[in-house]
Amino acid sequence: MTAIRSPRQLGDALRAARKQLGLTQPHLALAAGVGVRFIVDLEAGKPTLRLENVLRVIDALGGEIQLVGLPAVAAGDQPEGGEHGA
């Protein structure tokens, strides 16, 4: 498991995974349903990318996001989109 604490670290980790799988940026973009420019920006650590598309790229690479150190939430405890506030 790789600890990610910045957009740059995420970009570096995803670039390494892409290369390890032997994928080019255009191939990954096609597999994830995003543009090549999105992959370039993601791998460069651009901090303002759309989360939905980041998750699509992670899924296309065969990965998943796990939150460690946060309280567990049962799947039915929050409505879609979550609630903000205490």
Which domains are delineated in the chain? 7-60 (1.10.260.40)
What pLDDT does 9 receive? 97
Cα 12 from Cα 18, distance rounded (Å): 10
What pLDDT does 44 receive? 98
Radius of gyration of the chain (CA): 14
Per-residue pLDDT of the chain in tens (86 residues, 90 and over written 9) = 778 999 999 999 999 999 999 999 999 999 999 999 999 999 999 999 999 999 999 999 999 999 888 898 876 666 555 554 44
Q: Pick from 31, 28, 30, 21: which is nearest to 43 by CA?
A: 28
What pLDDT does 1 receive? 72
Classified as helix, coil or strand, 54 is helix
- Residue for token digits 């460690």? 68
pTM, 2 dp: 0.81
- Residue for token digits 């597999």? 31
What pLDDT does 74 receive? 75
**In this structure, are residues 39 and 25 in contact, taking their beta carbons and an 8 Å threshold?**
yes
Cα 68 from Cα 2, distance rounded (Å): 11
